[in-house]
Amino acid sequence: MNKIIECVPNFSEGRDAQKIVRIVSEIEQVQGVKLLNVESDTDYNRTVVTFAGKPEAVKDAAFYAIEMAAEVIDMSKHKGAHPRIGATDVCPFVPVANVTMDECVQIARVLGKKVGEWLGIPVYLYGEAAMIPERHLLPDIRKGEYESLPERLKDEKWRPDYGHAEFNDNVRKTGATVIGAREFLIAYNVNLDTQNIQIANKISGIVRASGVVKINEKGEKVRIPGLLKFVQAMGVHLKEHNITQVSMNLLNYKVAPPHVAFEEVKKQAGVLGVRVTGSEIVGLVPKEALLTAGRFYSKEPSEERIIAVAVERLGLSQLNKFIPGKKVIEYMLA
């Protein structure tokens, strides 16, 4: 039986079409790999690429793409709304068919070693591939972003897993890269009809699993957990659209699916006097997540109609037209 893994690298370039084409072309030229989705955002200045195929071919394609990104992207000049630490900000591997998580971990570590040694890029391993517990979560590694690297690389605690711990001319241009293995993640953003980033940040703190840190009556810092398990969230201002977003990573869509996140954000927004105008999924989404949402909102009998209801009720076509045939991973792999 064919082994299939998915790779979803995020590149710190969302505005220069020629640079994006050069990176994506490196993936397309590898035999045994299928390009599934390319999604760029000018406000985030970021491109999310999704491709899948045989494990070795996917690993090779990821390396070539990281190599090209290091050539065409200069992190010392990069500005964008989304947190980032390098030209290839993050590169996760996801088991799809007949592949174990352990196999994805091995691929991530082999690639990380090659990127560190051959390209001279500091590499941190995260997710299931992390070799240090404090590096399991991506936000912990990315804290302080690219701008923190000169000092962070001097800290023994943040010595990269692969590559040199030195902010040299090469690293000034490429930044660092985070490589790992994880289960399927849904990048999901809910749009707010306000430009007030404080409102988006407040809602993010309420819904995300980690919650917020507050000072109690004794003057001590205490963490107040958020409402949704397996959810990461932050507020983002989209200048081009004159709105803000609650930008989320749904780490386990079976526990916290898109419609649950959408309804909770809508509820909290209403309390603050703000209207939710829709949402967007960045990259691909498992069919089950949309079917679950569609069944929550209606009793339509057919798969096609159930998904159509989910798209409509979640407002998935407000910013970008949502086409199930191009956004549902099972349809793309078929």
Final residue before a domain boundary, out of 154, 181, 208: 181
User: Strand 88-97 to strand 177-181: parallel, antiparallel, or no bridges (unpaired)?
Assistant: parallel
Of the candidates 33, 35, 37, which has an alpha carbon nearest to the alpha carbon of residue 56? Answer: 33
**Judgement on whether residues 242 and 117 belong to the same structural domain of the protein:** no
Pairwise CA distance, residues 150 & 329, whole Å: 39
> Strand 276-282 and strand 88-97: pairing?
unpaired
One domain, residues 106 and 236: no
The domain that contains 216 carries what CATH number?
A: 3.30.70.670
Cα 93 from Cα 134, distance rounded (Å) = 19
What 129-135 contacts at long range (C-beta under 8 Å, 24+ apart), as own/partner pairs, is 129/93, 129/104, 129/105, 129/179, 129/180, 129/181, 130/180, 131/161, 132/161, 135/161
Q: Tell me: do 93 and 176 sit in the same domain.
A: yes
Domain that holds residue 219: 186-333
Structure tokens at 71: 């050539």
Q: Are 193 and 279 in contact (CB under 8 A)?
A: no
The total of other beta-carbon atoms located within 10 Å of residue 98's CB is: 12
Does one domain contain both 297 and 159?
no
Same domain flag for 91 and 38: yes
Output the domain CATH number for residue 164.
Answer: 3.30.990.10
Residues marked as catalytic: 82
> How do residues 1-11 score in pLDDT, each as one tens digit?
689 999 999 99
Q: Identify the sign of the CA torsion 22, 124, 256, 301.
A: positive
Beta strand residue intervals within the chain, DSSP E: 4-7, 10-11, 33-41, 46-53, 88-97, 123-127, 177-181, 186-192, 212-215, 221-224, 231-238, 243-250, 276-282
What's the longest Cα–Cα distance across the chain?
Answer: 62
Domain boundary among 165, 181, 197: 181
pLDDT of residue 193: 96
Q: How many domains does the chain have?
A: 2
pLDDT tens, position by position, 232-261: 999 999 988 899 999 999 999 999 999 999
For tokens 């035999």, what's the residue? 31
Contact (CB, 8 A) for 24 and 38: yes
Mean pLDDT in each 10-residue stretch from start to end of the chain (334 residues)? 92 98 98 95 96 97 98 97 96 94 98 98 98 95 97 96 96 98 95 97 97 89 94 94 95 96 98 96 94 96 95 86 91 86
136: Cα separation from own chain's centroid = 15
DSSP 8-state secondary structure symbol assigned to residue 328:
B
Residues 77 and 191 reside in one and the same domain: no
Q: Are 253 and 286 in contact (CB under 8 A)?
A: yes
Looking at the structure, tell me whether residues 161 and 16 fall in a common domain. yes
Q: Are residues 126 and 215 in the same domain?
A: no
191 and 160 belong to one structural domain: no
Same domain? For 116 and 260 the reply is no
Neighbours of 214 (CB within 10 A): 11
Question: Does 232 share its domain with 280?
Answer: yes
Tell me: do 62 and 151 sit in the same domain. yes
Question: Number of C-alpha atoms within 13 angstroms, CB side, residue 75?
Answer: 29
Name the nearest CA neighbour of 288 among 309, 262, 257: 257
pLDDT of residue 1: 65
